[in-house]
Amino acid sequence: MSLPQEKIYTTKDIYALPDGQRAELIDGRMYMMAPPNTKHQQIVSELTITIGNYIRSKGGNCKVFPAPFAVFLTEDELNYVEPDISVICDKNRLTEKGCNGAPDWVIEVTSPSNPQHDYGVKLFKYRTAGVREYWIVNPQKNTVTVFDFENETNSNQYSFEDNISVCIYKDLSINIADSLS
């Protein structure tokens, strides 16, 4: 007797979801997303402003996008994510629908219901897709785990009170606690 096959979802299934319902798609598996809480949104808002202001002050070409923002990590129809923050430096990756390919920098703020998703499934997917830098901000533990995929020795964990150096911008550091005060 064969085991039942798990349904393989595509981006068509994502776009067919009812209005207001959000999900991500990784290798054909759909992950439903709960609405974010206030602290989550405050962190996303403050980081987006900080990063955007830095890019503008330097006359940079990169763009910062908070969720919901569609990222099609691979050329197939089996991968669709909405990182909490995406920084994209290659304008050729931007379309009317979102980003085709890996952003340069992704920040995910963990949800209390499913933090392991950001530390496991997404970590692997972002690394293999070509994301240069990945931050996991954990409001429950007041920690930030930084993965510098270009220079693995620079990956580390920090507290919200630390000045965290940004890997793709050598002259930018962010203190989450200062941003939230």
Q: Decide if pLDDT at 28 tops 80.
A: yes
Q: Which residue from 113, 166, 94 is spatially nearest to 135, judged by alpha carbons? A: 166
How many other C-beta atoms lie within 10 A of the C-beta of residue 87? 25
Q: List strand residue ranges (DSSP E) for the chain, in order.
A: 22-26, 29-33, 63-66, 71-72, 85-88, 99-100, 105-109, 133-138, 143-148, 156-159, 164-165, 173-174
User: For 116-149, what is each residue's pLDDT tens digit?
Assistant: 888 889 999 999 999 999 999 999 999 999 999 9
Q: Is the pTM of this model over 0.75?
A: yes
Tokens of 44: 């996303």
- What pLDDT was estimated at residue 180? 81
